[in-house]
Structure 1
Amino acid sequence: MREIKPIKHLDATVRIPGSKSYTHRALIISSLAKGRSILINPLKCEDTDYTANALIRFGIPLLWDDNRIEIFGLGGFLSPPKERIFVGNSGTSLRFLTAIASLIKGRTILEGSSRMKSRPIDGLLEALRLMAVKAHSEEKRDSLMVFIESEGLNGGYIKIGGKESSQFISGLLMIAPYVHKKLEIEVSGDLVSKPYVDITIDTMSAFGVKVMREGYRYFSIREGGVYKPCEFQIESDASNASYFFSAAAITGGKVRIEKFNPNSLQGDTGFLRVLEEMGCKVIRGEDWVEVQGGKLKGIEIDMRKMPDVVPTLAVTSSFAQGKTLIKNIGHLRYKESDRITAIANELKKMGIDVEVDDGSMIIKGGSAHGADIETYNDHRMAMSFAIAGLVVPGIRILGEQCVNKSFPTFWKTLEALY
């Protein structure tokens, strides 16, 4: 349990670790390139450790040293692991490793924690089966098992749904240069979390592979193009920056984040526009952003493209005048926790009025009071509600160690604000 102390005056400069999304993708792609790549400023956390350790099990030489990773890709030639690979509660690791395992001649078994049984994977497995891969999942008492058996991967035309997870499309795109023939992907329905596909395509481009696309409906990769090793700089994580932007918003203070790309493809940079709409002042430099808190007002906002900052927005909205309507967030029920229910439960503990349905949430700003905040082993719940404690006395975060999933230095960074 960690009690958060209210802050009297906030005027801070902060640095945020590298992007989790870019780190995962750079690890996968550099492992497929042939030769030595250097990844600079990667995020080292539980989730990215799962991905890196799995690649080592696939035969990839990899050295993680301080603020960089040296990785020796084998040109798409990977070895089947001798034992099952555990990925904890990392949905990104499970989906991306499922995709890359389909390139391996042999059998791979991936194991996720119990919560993974509630997180989508079947759409990706179905797509792989259409590409001549034996792929299925099994629910055990305390885990989800995914089995992949392949003799190499056929390409062809694949139609896949977009409403469950954009990571299905990202996983297929990243392995596309190494299938036996041209891979074409058609997305049916409205794709959720679109910016994450943009991040995938951007990382692929940095390693020399161009994706042809028609918006978010159709993607293809030219035959014969493969990844080239390179030095790849990973920018700061926009999701993790959101907590400190929120801190400025609710305290009326000022936070500047250095080494931050205000024009990043990361969808969660859109949180800055949300804060502007709510009444904050945002100043964007070449490689920094500053948020100055103002009188916050409730808004109506579609968060389909920014699901990871919904908990941050929900907490911020609790300090705004009037109601905030957060729309198109139904897929948050399948994250590390059922985030819609979790957010509502904990805000109500603080005395905040909340209404929810399957795909939206209405939060009425009010006078919050202290509470013991259950995190549901969800890193984003812990970090979002910790920010409320900068204003509200008596906020205590239970299970605070869950931040290790994505931001191990969060508590140290938060303490530096005082």
Structure 2
Amino acid sequence: MKNILNLKPIHKIKGSIFLPGSKSISNRVLLLSALAKGNTKLINLLNSDDINHMLNALKKLNIKFILSKSKTECLIIGNNGIFKPKKKLKLFLGNAGTVIRPLTAVLSLNSECDIILTGEPRMKERPIKHLVDSLKNGGAIINYLEKKNFPPIHIKGGFQGTKILEIEGSISSQFLTSLLIICPLIKQNTLINITNNLVSKPYIDITIKLMKIFGIHVENHNYQQFKISGQQNYISPGKYIIEGDASSASYFLSAAAIKGGTVKLNNINKNSIQGDIKYVNVLQKMGAIINYGKNYISCTKNTLKSINMDLNNIPDVAMTIAVTSLFAKGITTIKNIYNWRVKETDRLKAMSNELKKTGAKIITGYDYIIIYPPKQIKEVIIETYNDHRIAMCFSLLSLSNNSVSIINPNCTSKTYPNFFKDFKKISIYN
């Protein structure tokens, strides 16, 4: 029997939320701390499935750490260089792209590596070919164990690098992030050339900024070419506080914009290093009233209007915009979002299916979605496709005058286990 959560109609949104740590930052700093010289105390670490997959992998790779009872503080004992596990390993990494892709690169540095990386059925449908090809060009020995170009993969190390590496940019920024992380650790200097346009550029900014905090400099030439000096070491900053997750912020900001009251989100501000902070600008363009504080952002209701925008740089929160647009006046067009198709599910197909249930007219193409909002949003049952972001963004339908039922609400544990609890905290019912 399917687990279904019924969300009652919400009269008003009001209150404050302390945002959990950013997933993108949490998994990056866990890996960089493990590679670094010295110990690193991470504060406000996200406690979720994706982070647990990284922690479990690091533990099996002999990286020592002390995790607090709340799982939100972690002291990592730095390895001072590449990982050298003593035995054959098989690491199960769920559906965490921020784990499997960087670990594929990092483990390829070990010449005696004998490790299999695998995950959930959907992980076996998510592409890894372009990253593997680049690593092979630098000497890595990596084999596909089931379907060619997809996990599971068998890594036997051997990556020594080459003066020029090429990586496909249009599928996932995680491929480039993975190469950037390992290039300082090899002997020679590296030039990484991007083929086709790089998607999700703000995630590359996160990677480069975090590498800098750990003592590594990357030259970024207009996102087309990256230059990294070899023979470097990651150096622990000693302590790092992880800011609130900007992607998670989008649901609460939209809820306030649709049916506030005012919502105040603590542990994030306009100087966030996350690209998804740009969601605030999009919401403002739609008409929401935004205020910034020293370490918070607040949003207040206003009449919302449609947008026509390229949201390639913020694909995850573009989903929240799609649902928010059901409450806006006019036709919304979201463009340049092909990489929705290679995420936790085929999000372009899934979003189209679920948005249509509300009575909206939906048109989709290769890399766009056009949304004609319904006169009145219907009461619906949302299929989540085991995709955490679909569960969270469609919770906003409870801000219509109807309830909404969410199938498999526990899929939010991937990045935000307490999402529905926090959503209820700011909800006022009749």
Q: Give the TM-score band, short-chain normalised.
A: over 0.9
| Counterpart position of 2:317 | 309
Using the TM superposition, give the Cα deviation of residue 179 of structure 1 relative to its aligned residue in structure 2, in angstroms.
1.2
| Counterpart position of 1:68 | 73
Which of 22, 39, 46 is 1:43 aligned to?
46
CA distance in 2, matches of 1:155, 1:20: 31
Contact map agreement 2:186 2:231 (CA 8 A) in 1:
no
Task: Check if 1:107 corresponds to 2:121.
Answer: no
Task: Check if 1:389 corresponds to 2:394.
Answer: no
Using the TM superposition, give the Cα deviation of residue 351 of structure 1 relative to its aligned residue in structure 2, in angstroms.
1.1
| Counterpart position of 1:282 | 290
| Counterpart position of 1:93 | 99
CA distance in 2, matches of 1:337, 1:24: 21
CA deviation string 1:281-322 (max 9, x = no partner): 111122111111111111101110001112211110011111
| Counterpart position of 1:169 | 176
What does 1:347-386 align with in structure 2 at a 5 Å threshold?
Answer: 347-366=355-374, 367-386=376-395
SS of 2:17's partner is: strand
Contact map agreement 1:4 1:390 (CA 8 A) in 2:
no
What letter matches 1:190 in structure 2? Answer: N
TM-score (norm 2): 0.94
Task: Check if 1:138 corresponds to 2:145.
Answer: yes
Tell me whether 314-323 or 170-179 shows the greater mean CA deviation.
170-179
SS of 1:220's partner is: strand
Using the TM superposition, give the Cα deviation of residue 356 of structure 1 relative to its aligned residue in structure 2, in angstroms.
0.7
CA deviation string 1:172-210 (max 9, x = no partner): 111122112112211111100000000000110111111
CA distance in 2, matches of 1:144, 1:172: 18
What letter matches 2:36 in structure 1? Answer: A
Task: Check if 1:197 corresponds to 2:197.
Answer: no
What does 1:259-278 align with in structure 2 at a 5 Å threshold?
Answer: 259-278=267-286
Using the TM superposition, give the Cα deviation of residue 144 of structure 1 relative to its aligned residue in structure 2, in angstroms.
3.1
Contact map agreement 2:126 2:343 (CA 8 A) in 1:
yes
**Cα root mean square deviation, aligned:** 1.5
CA distance in 1, matches of 2:401, 2:361: 16
CA distance in 2, matches of 1:91, 1:321: 36
Using the TM superposition, give the Cα deviation of residue 87 of structure 1 relative to its aligned residue in structure 2, in angstroms.
0.6
Task: Check if 1:411 corresponds to 2:420.
Answer: yes
CA distance in 2, matches of 1:131, 1:377: 36
Contact map agreement 1:155 1:176 (CA 8 A) in 2:
no
CA distance in 2, matches of 1:313, 1:9: 19
| Counterpart position of 2:18 | 15
Using the TM superposition, give the Cα deviation of residue 416 of structure 1 relative to its aligned residue in structure 2, in angstroms.
0.7
Using the TM superposition, give the Cα deviation of residue 372 of structure 1 relative to its aligned residue in structure 2, in angstroms.
0.7
Tell me whether 401-410 or 177-186 shows the greater mean CA deviation.
177-186
Describe the shift of the 1:26–1:249 C-alpha distance in structure 2 as closer, same or farther (beyond 3 A).
Answer: same
Stretches of structure 1 that go unaligned for 5 or more consecutive residues are none
CA distance in 1, matches of 2:225, 2:142: 24
CA distance in 1, matches of 2:75, 2:336: 40
Task: Check if 1:178 corresponds to 2:178.
Answer: no
Contact map agreement 2:361 2:372 (CA 8 A) in 1:
yes
Using the TM superposition, give the Cα deviation of residue 155 of structure 1 relative to its aligned residue in structure 2, in angstroms.
4.1
Contact map agreement 1:155 1:180 (CA 8 A) in 2:
no
Describe the shift of the 1:10–1:197 C-alpha distance in structure 2 as closer, same or farther (beyond 3 A).
Answer: same
Task: Check if 1:149 corresponds to 2:152.
Answer: no
Percent identity of the aligned residues? 39
Stretches of structure 2 that go unaligned for 5 or more consecutive residues are none
| Counterpart position of 1:27 | 30
Contact map agreement 1:312 1:384 (CA 8 A) in 2:
yes
CA distance in 2, matches of 1:122, 1:56: 27
Contact map agreement 1:207 1:229 (CA 8 A) in 2:
yes
Contact map agreement 1:332 1:339 (CA 8 A) in 2:
yes
Using the TM superposition, give the Cα deviation of residue 137 of structure 1 relative to its aligned residue in structure 2, in angstroms.
2.4
| Counterpart position of 1:57 | 60
Contact map agreement 2:260 2:301 (CA 8 A) in 1:
yes
SS of 1:291's partner is: strand
Count how many residue pairs are aligned between Structure 1 and Structure 2: 417
Structure 1 segments of 4+ aligned residues over 6 angstroms from their partners: none
Describe the shift of the 1:151–1:118 C-alpha distance in structure 2 as closer, same or farther (beyond 3 A).
Answer: closer
Contact map agreement 2:10 2:401 (CA 8 A) in 1:
no
CA distance in 1, matches of 2:304, 2:377: 15
